[in-house]
Structure 1
Amino acid sequence: MAEDNTPVFNIQRMYLKDLSLEQPNSPQILLEQQQPQVDINLGMAAEAVAEGIFEVTVTATVTTKVQDKVLFLVEAKQAGIFEIRNVPQEQMQGIVSIVCPQMIYPYLRAIVSDVCTRAGFPPILLTEVNFQAMFEAQQQAQAAEANGGSRIITGAN
């Protein structure tokens, strides 16, 4: 019987892996009338959990401050389990770093917005993210680091 080398890509599960909400300066800070500053950081991680099975996570950390005091902080980590088999190795990193996060991110956006609303604040709407551009920037940074951070300049003297 011949071995089946057909590429496989299946979503096994999407789930909320971690969620936290902190309001360290409540209730006093809620009396402030100033517009808060919002800082949003995104992170992405992937790891193999079994042969051909990968967990990919996208994390959003939203910190809102009034002056130098934290109004609220939300950290949400949305994850997905993906079956990826018989895919050429050179395509694997792109699938795990671009395709999978693009599938996870809408769930993360909804969770962050919902948690802010349930906490009594206006919803924070995370902007769309170009995971392809993020991946390419990361690849360029790694290549520059591998070259010792130096640039090769060619041309006539």
Structure 2
Amino acid sequence: MAENETNAAPEAAAQDQGPQFAIQRIYLKDASLEMPNAPEIFLAPEAPHVDIQLEVAQSALSQPDLYEVVVRATVTATTKINNEDRTVFLVECKQAGIFLMKGFEEEHKTMVLGITCPTTIYPYLRSNVCDLLTRAGMPPVYLGEINFEAYFAQRMQEQQAAEQAHTAQ
């Protein structure tokens, strides 16, 4: 009986603590690799040019207080073969996480979803992109560190500018 009473107290205290944040799951949502010009690309004398694009998206899930955040990387490498640009490889990888968020004000929740969650997911994405390429016989591409706070601020500025342009019309 005493065991039940002591277990109930921490649960009640947790409900009164204010905002709660927890990682429910981190997973690889999608991964694809294309090497349309193999095997010619392996004979190219020129080092490839690598382009990396990142996107962050989030959505509320059907269960209350659960959100999915997805960080997507598109990595494209091109090289010249016989003076023509050729794709060496194209990798698209989506790393996702499910996060529990309770008791947050809307502004703070937006910041956590746009900064904290992608920062948590990104190391897994980096590892999966590198692993996918090396397993395909390509040299690894290391995705650099990302300041998701600056990325979030830039996206907010772009969104505000778009809203102002829309209002001005």
TM-score (norm 1): 0.90
Q: Hey, what does 1:134 align to over in structure 2?
A: 151
- Percentage of pairs with the same residue: 47
Q: Spell out the pairing of 1:21-100 with structure 2 (5 A cutoff).
A: 21-49=33-61, 50-67=63-80, 68-100=85-117
**How far 1:114 moved relative to its partner?**
0.9
**How far 1:29 moved relative to its partner?**
2.0
Q: Hey, what does 1:15 align to over in structure 2?
A: 27
- What RMSD over aligned residues (CA atoms) do the two structures have, in Å? 2.0
Write the deviation string for residues 53-73 of structure 1: whole angstroms up to 9, x where unpaired: 001000111000112110111
Q: Which runs of 5+ in 1 are unaligned?
A: 151-157
Write the deviation string for residues 25-46 of structure 1: whole angstroms up to 9, x where unpaired: 1112211111101000001110
Distance 2:90 2:162 in 1: 33
Count of paired positions: 151
Distance 2:129 2:158 in 1: 29
Which of these two proteins has the greater Rg computed from alpha carbons? 2
| Aligned partner of 1:113 among 113, 119, 130 | 130
One-letter identity of the residue aligned with 1:139 = M
Q: Hey, what does 2:119 align to over in structure 1?
A: 102
Distance 2:162 2:88 in 1: 38
Give runs of ≥4 in structure 1 deviating > 4 Å: none
One-letter identity of the residue aligned with 1:31 = L
More helix by share: 2
Distance 1:118 1:12 in 2: 29
Distance 1:127 1:149 in 2: 35
